[in-house]
Amino acid sequence: MTELFDAVEVIATKRDKHELTDPQIDWVVDAFTRGVVADEQMSALAMAILINGMNRREISRWTHAMIDSGERMDFSSLSWATADKHSTGGVGDKITLPLAPLVAACGVAVPQLSGRGLGHTGGTLDKLEAIPGWRANLTNEEMLAQLEDIGAVICAAGAGLAPADKKLYALRDVTGTVEAIPLIASSIMSKKIAEGTGALVLDVKAGSGAFMKELDQARELAETMVALGTDAGVKTVALLTDMSTPLGRTAGNACEVAESVEVLAGGGPADVVELTVALAREMLAAAGKDDKDPAEVLASGAAMDVWRRMISAQGGDPDAPLPVARETHVVTAPASGTLSRLDALSVGVAAWRLGAGRSRPGEQVQLAAGVVMHAKPGDAVVAGQPLMTLHTDTPERFERAVAALEGSYDVGHAPFDAPSVVIDRIG
């Protein structure tokens, strides 16, 4: 077939700070997916986008071209309204686990397509695979049936959803262009819009443990994604949330599942409960069904009932013991006083080095590896008391994990109130 454009011409347009036309965008995404545009050419275009940016029209068109590279899911046959949540990722971010059953218990179905961890940020699917028998891969038919029956599903995205994104992401990862906000936003939103949910709530994190370290970067990304969702007819809102300190008191896989179950049982850390309820309220409002208070539903045990049914439906045993690490190492408080800082990135790197995360896609993770935090900022500590316990099956990993935590926490004597995890709302 005769191609409509030449890749070099498209690259030069963005290199020279001009807008890409709709036909140029449609063609380059499609041609890249077909293999006509070479990897090195798309890498050059990605770098030009990183340096020169895109306007709202360009990003919206790019996103829809990515969607059109694959299939679209359709939940219109369900008797439920639907809402989904996407987090940009962080340390100890197990919010999806209690959130999906909580929102379902409030009457809105949650089709949660999740991913795996890479580097210091954990992956929802890795966490849930700590539950014996649980499976991440469902067919579209299985997903629809589970949504209609239970109202919640957490599973892997199928290969047919925005395949152009998967191909482009692999390039961005090795060419220094992951940070391009137009490409981040279109990557996330192409999959979420193609998924077909009626409403979407974004949890955009800022801080040392987040992908976006600075608040203004996180705000720009949130605003861009909310605009993309709105333009596509999906009711979209975003919460900017703090990721300078880990969420909850665990970072790992099995240990985060255990903490999530504590939340569903009416306990758990205050920050995890706060963010779970805040996101649930936004999802219910966006789906037009905010007649129930998610805090009350969580306390009632109804969300736990949905959790047990959801895990069982995907082959998991909600009563089975979770994996336990063979080896532990305790990090103690260096002085008495108030813990005033606990750096999220350092804790995430320590958990990664213990085996909870992976260095490259497809690598195996240790389900029981991770960090359990016995104190969070604002808590009083006594010199010599356990501050963190490190868990792994391979004790030779302790040395590097401990090294990651050096300088990651401060103990002082000034009064300290931990700030709210929710910073702002956009949309």
**H helix count then E strand count, the chain:** 16, 14
Quick one: which H or E segment has residue 23? helix 22-34
Question: 212, 240, 237: which is closest to 419 by C-alpha?
Answer: 240
Which residue carries 């949130």 as its tokens? 222
Say what angle helices 56-67 and 163-174 make with each other, to 10 degrees.
120
| 370 within 8 A of 349, measured Cβ to Cβ | no
Per-residue burial over 293-310, b = 16 or more CB atoms within 10 Å of its CB, e = otherwise = ebbebbeeebbbebbbbb
Residue 364 CB neighbour total at 10 angstroms = 8
| 373 within 8 A of 388, measured Cβ to Cβ | yes
Rounded-to-integer distance, Cα 202 and Cα 188, Å: 10
- Structure tokens, 163: 């395949």
Rounded-to-integer distance, Cα 68 and Cα 62, Å: 10
Question: 124, 140, 125, 146: which is closest to 196 by C-alpha?
Answer: 140
The catalytic residues are 86, 165, 172, 187, 191
Quick one: which H or E segment has residue 332? strand 327-332
Which residue carries 């758990």 as its tokens? 268
Concatenated DSSP letters of 186-255 = HHHHHHHHHHT-SEEEEEEEESTTSSB-SHHHHHHHHHHHHHHHHHTT-EEEEEEEE-SS-STTEEESHH
Rounded-to-integer distance, Cα 374 and Cα 369, Å: 16
Rounded-to-integer distance, Cα 132 and Cα 319, Å: 9
Say what angle helices 56-67 and 22-34 make with each other, to 10 degrees.
30
